[in-house]
Amino acid sequence: MTAVERRHGRILLGLILAALAVAFASLFVGRYPITPGTMVRVLAARGAEMVYGALARIQPDGALTEFAARLVPAATWEETVETVVFSIRLPRVLLALSIGAGLSISGAAFQGMFQNPLVSPDLLGVTAGAGLGAAIGILLGGSTVAIQLAALLCGIGAVALTYVMSRIYRTTPTLMLVLSGIVVGSICNALLSLAKYLADPHDELPTIVFWLMGSLATVTRDDALHAIPPILGGITVLLLLRWRINLLSMGDDEARALGVNPDRLKTVLIVASTLVTAAGVSVSGIIGWVGLVIPHIGRMLVGPDHRILLPVSLALGGIYLTLIDDLARASTEVEIPLGILTAIVGAPFFAYMLRRTRGGWG
Amino acid sequence: MTTGYAAAPPPAEAIAVQGVSCAYGERPVFEGLDLCLGQAEILSLLGPNGCGKTTLLRCIAGLMPVRAGRVLLDGQDVTTLSETERARRMGFVFQEHAILFPYTVLEVVRMGRAPHLGLFAAPAARDTAIAREAIATVGLEHLANRRYTQISGGERQLALIARALAQDPRILLLDEPTSHLDFGNQMRVLETVRRLARERGISVLMATHAPDHALFVADRVALMQAGRLLAVGAPEDVMTEDNLRTLYRTEIRMLTVPDGEGRPPIRAAVAVPSASVAVPSAAAANRSEEQP
């Protein structure tokens, strides 16, 4: 390991610790006051209960199970505390953390494999498709879960359509992917406008508009349970293949000459990124700029090597969206939609960064 | 190299191109081409711009499909080999090369370890050591941690050769490795190529448009013109004034310069200014007449 790699390792460790600290601190944001001591005890109690529950199923009268049972402390707090922590704040913080992390790592993977630092995870139409799906779900009067499922499926469907379309012209696959993404995105946006036009302006239209602005204000425990596993699954695939993105970033011919089948690798990466983005967006609505800006900050910290850039983007994105979500719920009486904040904070920061790096992609 | 003692000696030819045809859409680049690269041999593919050198290299590397015929690597059809297997046997040094992200030289060279790594693996300490050794072989130790985008063209070309070496290949394909380099860097790259072939027994197929580069490194030369091989053989046999005149459609003299005692004389090709070149407008008129 070179000295540079050791320094990058320390940066990554610091960011992961910072992400955990930010997540923990974010549990205190909100109107209902909880002291740090109570928070630690509530979390520890739930953790011990889960360990006990698991052990009790494996070994109902083992010594370990008895030991675990003694670790579960008696509740010295009001029941409201548990409701606030486990039904409202923890799901929200975990979702912000994993959606921010997922959008950022997908963005870093896309920028590398498409050899373009200006692309974001919605390049191939996943967010446009998800928006359309959500609008259709809202128009059909679906439940929250139905709307999320519609968003997820349409997001994935849009990318699948882009992919199939690009395969028709085999000459320049990467360029065709990008162009097909633009076509599919435009079609989805046109249909979304149609959906808005047809929507009931007193009830459905505001719901669609708010969904498109992105928010975690109403997320529940179930939302977290539905969205986080696919996000983590996609992230795992991206992390496993991260060094190979370096090879793709040299262009298809060079990747092939270095022993990689670029089409196959890209397909796997696109599937994983799409799963991550679609699962996140289906719960949160559309959140822009995170997937574009965070990888650039990552590159400023650790350089372009995707082996270190992807985990660093992951941690940075988690920190960023968790903080933005704290801002959204704490700054004003009425919650500001997340998509607005990420743009207001992200866009000027991006402009500032371009000035600092003078347009280079270091 | 003592390949003769190996349990299963490799075939005499590292690469055998057999009746290969290739085309871009409807436009054929070459048809029914035959060419062999011997073990530990440097074969220079010499020809003017656009004669099909790069296309032939791309066919051999499996980067382009062939219409007819086949390419054998150590006796095996290249199309039956996976990308990984190909990359373990054969390194490709590209001519045109746009790199977006400012990787360090070490990171770029380490990419050459990809064919030896598992799908989910990243280079380990051993791969880094091999990459460093490759960097040292081409003489770039002092630049290992510099950004690849901030070194000179000649250094980049050497780094790309180092990356191909990190693949640990038996065959190197080089596409115009000296095209954008100054005189000194051209010679450094060519000397590195010659040393690799001699010391490691690597077989080298190098495309170039400069006759002097072929004379400098090649054991054999294949003269290529408009998708056909004009002549293949030892440089002193095929690089005649007649052949080069046909190849480049310009008057050329072969010079022989003594290089001190006990050393063979140096041969060089020199273009002779024709009378019409002295007057630019007449030259332009001549050229436009020559165009079919």
Yes or no, beta carbons of B119 and A244 under 8 Å apart = yes
**Any domain includes A49:** no
Residue A267 host element (H or E): helix A262-284
Mean pLDDT of A170-175: 75
Cβ pairs bridging A and B (under 8 Å): 85
Burial class (CB within 10 angstroms; exposed 0-12, middle 13-18, buried 19+) of B18: middle
Determine how many CB atoms are found less than 10 A away from the CB of residue B264.
Answer: 8
Question: Chain A partners of B83 at a C-beta cutoff of 8 Å?
Answer: 256, 259-261
Question: How many separate domains does chain A show?
Answer: 1
ipTM of the prediction: 0.89
Look at the block and give the residue holding tokens 């630690």. A40
What DSSP string describes A94-115? HHHHHHHHHHHHHHHHHHHHTT
Q: How far is A14 from chain B (nearest CA, A)?
A: 22
Chain A partners within 8 Å of B91 (Cβ): 257
Is B101's CB within 8 Å of A112's CB?
Answer: yes
Structure confidence by residue, pLDDT tens digits, A10-38? 999 999 999 999 999 999 998 889 999 99
What's the confidence (pLDDT) of residue A85? 94
Please judge whether A117 and B100 are an interchain contact, meaning their C-beta atoms are less than 8 angstroms apart: yes
Q: Are strands B203-208 and B220-225 parallel, antiparallel or unpaired?
A: unpaired
The answer to whether position A79 is within a domain reads: no
CA distances from B204 to B80, B134, B198, B225 (A): 22, 17, 10, 20
Asked if B268 and B215 count as a contact pair (C-beta separation under 8 A), the reply is yes
Q: What tokens does B135 get?
A: 């960097």
For residue A57, the tally of other CB atoms under 10 A from its CB is 9
Q: Is B8 on the interface with A (CB under 8 A)?
A: no
Residue A58 lies in a domain: no
The DSSP call for residue A88 is I
Distance, in Å, from the CA atom of B134 to the CA atom of A343, rounded to the nearest integer, reads: 46
Residue A209 above 70 pLDDT? yes
Is residue A110 a part of any domain in this protein? Answer: yes
Q: Strand B203-208: give its sheet, edge to edge.
A: B90-93, B171-175, B203-208, B42-46, B220-225, B228-233
Residue A41 lies in a domain: no
Across the interface, whether the CB atoms of A259 and B87 are under 8 A apart is answered yes
Distance CA A290, CA A281 (A): 12
State the residue range of the domain holding A162: 3-33+87-357
Q: Looking at the domain assignment, is residue A141 inside a domain?
A: yes
Shortest Cα distance from A222 to chain B (angstroms)?
Answer: 32
Mutate to test the interface with B, among A116, A118, A246, A299 (most CBs of B within 10 A): A246
The stretches in chain B having pLDDT less than 50 are: 1-6, 277-279, 282-283, 289-292
Q: Give per-residue pLDDT as tens, A212-270.
A: 999 999 999 999 999 999 999 999 999 999 999 999 999 999 999 999 999 999 999 99
pLDDT (average), residues A291-296: 94
Strand order across the beta sheet in which B13-24 lies: B27-38, B13-24, B68-73, B76-77
Contacts of B128 in chain A (CB under 8 A): 2
Are residues A362 and B147 in contact, defined by beta-carbon separation less than 8 angstroms? yes
Q: Does residue A95 fall inside a structural domain?
A: yes
CATH number of the domain bearing residue A353:
1.10.3470.10
Tokens 């975690």 sit at which residue? A216
pLDDT at residue A164 greater than cutoff 50: yes
Cβ burial, residue A183 (10 Å; 0-12/13-18/19+): middle
Residue A92 covered by a domain:
yes
B128 touches A at CB < 8 Å: yes
